[in-house]
Amino acid sequence: MRDRLELIWKLLSNDGSLWITIDDNEAHYLKVMADEIFGRSNFIATCVWEKDKGGRGDADISLSHDNILVYARNRDTWSNTRNLMPRSETQLGRFKNPDNDPRGPWRQGDDGTAKSGTEKQRFPVQLPSGRIVTPPPGRYWAFSPQTLEKSREEGRAYFGADGDRLPIIKRYLSEVREGVAPRTWWSADEVGTNQQAKRDHLNKLLLDIEPFATPKPEGLIHRILYIATNPGDLVLDSFAGSGTTGAVAHKMGRRWIMVELGDHAVTHIVPRLRKVIDGEDPGGVTKATDWQGGGGFRFYWLAPSLLEKDRWGRWVINKEYNGAMLAEALCKLEGFTYAPSDTFYWQHGHSTERDFIYVTTASLSHVQLQQLSDEVGPEQTLLVLCAAFRSDGEFPNLTVKRIPLHVLNRCEWGKDDHSLRVESLPKAPGKPVQMGLFGGDSREDAKARRPRRDDVAREGLEGTMSHAKTRRRE
């Protein structure tokens, strides 16, 4: 988890936050580790989610909650930018207007006294009825004589309908903060349970699919995204599971990236998100967000790392890469379209009609480079990526670079910016999404499990189809 937390810390924007759902077995170890990486001062709270309303008779103590550790990238920034929760109906019901005050409803039930204070705050007050009162024993006025006087002048002091009750100073609904600070207790009735997510939502949505064991209810993620994000923000779930985070982010108008290791990326997440986009998911937070459908997503298989270290600690090309995979990966990295030619062995891809790329793990001599240069001719240019080369001179139509050195330079490893400059990724209409990893497919089994064209939703269709096309050629 340390590697992942360090990466997430670097990826987060200054006003971003990390929310980790974790059960009791690991929560406390993870807290200590996250404190080290995020800094204890950036720890916001542990929210307690009631994930199970029932009890297990066979347990020593039946586990009914998960912890949600909340960290800010920068606590001060986050405190000023995070959203408040809307007031509940019950909270709003406490504001009434029994005296038809033109300033609107004000909070009932407030008592003008406080539990603590000094003797000075027990001054006598004359009520409109003429009676003179002091706070009850052990209580103190919650206001100073000056505040009471000013409130009387402004008509904000209330003494009951008969003008004979202890004073209170009105707090108008229009003047209090628009929402309330989120609390740490998240009950099942408010945000749902795993069981409800499965039974009431996903089982009905994905009829023929074995349900994911512990899907998060959409209400839970909705609350997190409501507090921590605004429309258009980018949400990352690096352990996507059933895909609830992406589904809710999508319905709430946030952009999202999900990462999932298991096959359910294909069997559960893609069909689920497709239904969300097609407006065919009536469950979860669809009503609450007034979701009607729309948008799209792109789906990528991650290739294994292009480079690995050999036993002497030197960077070498991963043995899992065959020649075609290597050529495709480097085309992607360099912004060339992968399109190996049947006629010219050195044409693996092109950036324009006259600019080509050639990828080889061979070591090229001066003579070989001279031959290449002659074949390319004066009207065309070629980028040559090879394991090594030796040359006494320069060739005006060739640019020769060494892999893996060149790849390492392009990847900017170890710097704070983790955005790989992978230039041939298809561009989504609208805002670009930052990608941190290779998008190329490499494994045979991955190829077999790739979603069909029509498994990919509208917005990403073009880019993903063109990627699929290059694989078919291969």
Ligand X SMILES: C[S@@+](CC[C@H](N)C(=O)[O-])C[C@H]1O[C@@H](n2cnc3c(N)ncnc32)[C@H](O)[C@@H]1O
- Which residues lie near ligand X (CB under 6 A)? 212, 214-216, 237, 239, 241-242, 244-245, 259-262
| Spatial distance between the Cα atoms of 244 and 219, rounded to a whole number of angstroms | 10
Q: Which is nearer to ligand X, 194 or 360 (CB)?
A: 194
Q: How far is the CB of 212 from ligand X (least distance, A)?
A: 6
- The nearest distance, CB 236 to ligand X, in angstroms, is 11
Distance of CA 171 to the CA centre of its chain: 37
Closer to ligand X by CB, 167 or 241: give it.
241
Q: For residues 160 and 283, which CB has a smaller minimum distance to ligand X in the complex?
A: 283
Q: Report the residue number, 74 or 244, with the smaller CB distance to ligand X.
A: 244
- Picking from 93, 227, 112, the residue whose alpha carbon sits closest to that of residue 173 is 93
Give least dist CB 4 to ligand X, A: 8
CB of 444 to ligand X, least distance (A): 20
Gap between the Cα atoms of 9 and 6, Å rounded = 5
Residue closer to ligand X by CB (options 247, 359) is 247
Helix, strand, coil fractions of the chain, as percent rounded to 5: 35, 20, 50
Token pair in block for residue 86: 């809307």
**DSSP secondary structure string, 36-97?**
HHH-GGGEEEEEEEE--SS--TTSSS---EEEEEEEESSHHHHHHHSPPEEPPHHHHHTEE-
* φ and ψ at residue 445, rounded to 5 degrees: -65, -35
How far, in Å, are 30, 40, 216 from residue 45 at the CA level? 14, 11, 20
Residue type, 371: Q
Q: Which residue is nearest to ligand X (CB)?
A: 241
Task: In angstroms, give the least distance from the CB of 414 to ligand X.
Answer: 21
Q: In the complex with ligand X, which residue's Cβ is closer, 111 or 263?
A: 263
Nearer to ligand X (CB atom), residue 247 or residue 369: 247
Cα 409 to Cα 334, 388, 413, 419, 421: the distances in Å are 12, 16, 8, 13, 10
Smallest distance from the beta carbon of 76 to ligand X, in angstroms? 29
Q: How far is the CB of 243 from ligand X (least distance, A)?
A: 7
What is the closest distance, in whole angstroms, from the C-beta atom of residue 29 to ligand X in the complex? 17
User: What is the smallest separation between the CB atom of 319 and ligand X, expressed in angstroms?
Assistant: 22
Tokens representing 464 are: 């993903």
CA distance 253 to 265: 21
In the bound state with ligand X, the residue whose beta carbon lies nearer, of 134 and 214, is 214
Range 2-32 burial, b when 16+ CB lie within 10 A, else e: eeebeebbebbeebbbbbbbbeeeebeebbe
Instruction: List helix spans (H) across 155-290.
Output: 188-191, 194-196, 203-205, 218-228, 244-251, 264, 270-277, 286-289
Q: Which is nearer to ligand X, 229 or 242 (CB)?
A: 242
Q: Phi then psi for 188, rounded to 5 degrees?
A: -60, -35
Nearer to ligand X, 209 or 259 (CB): 259
Minimum CB separation from ligand X for residue 239, in Å? 3
